[in-house]
Amino acid sequence: MSRLDKKAVAKEIDRLFNLALSSEDELLKRSAIRHAVALSRSVRVKIPKKYSLFICRKCLSLLSSSKSARIRVRKNRNWQMVIRCLTCGSVKRIPLKR
């Protein structure tokens, strides 16, 4: 795969995420996210960090609204953000810097 093709796929992934974030329709959000993840896997292009934080790894749903995710900030030994998917129940823990 040439470098131009990977850049075109990266632009398409960005477009799909913008579509999913701006849409109100849950079915459109889910299909756009699944298509973006399938594209990134087939061409081996990484999804940018700003988008990958908001994807559930288990069910591939968008974790952006209060209907789809519960977001908490916790301090045990270190600060961390805990995101729970309300669709499938999986938990994502992201370490935070102080």
Q: What is the pLDDT of residue 97?
A: 82
Single pTM value for the model: 0.81
Enumerate residue ranges in the chain where pLDDT < 50. Answer: none
Domain locations along the chain: 1-52, 64-98
Confidence at residue 2, expressed as pLDDT on a 0 to 100 scale:
64
Own/partner pairs for 92-96, CB < 8 Å, 24+ apart? 92/56, 92/57, 92/63, 94/53
Find tokens 């968008």 and name the residue: 62
pLDDT of residue 12: 94
- pLDDT score for 3: 65
Q: Looking at the domain covering 1-52, what would its CATH class be?
A: mainly alpha
What percent of the chain clears pLDDT 90, i.e. is strictly above it? 52
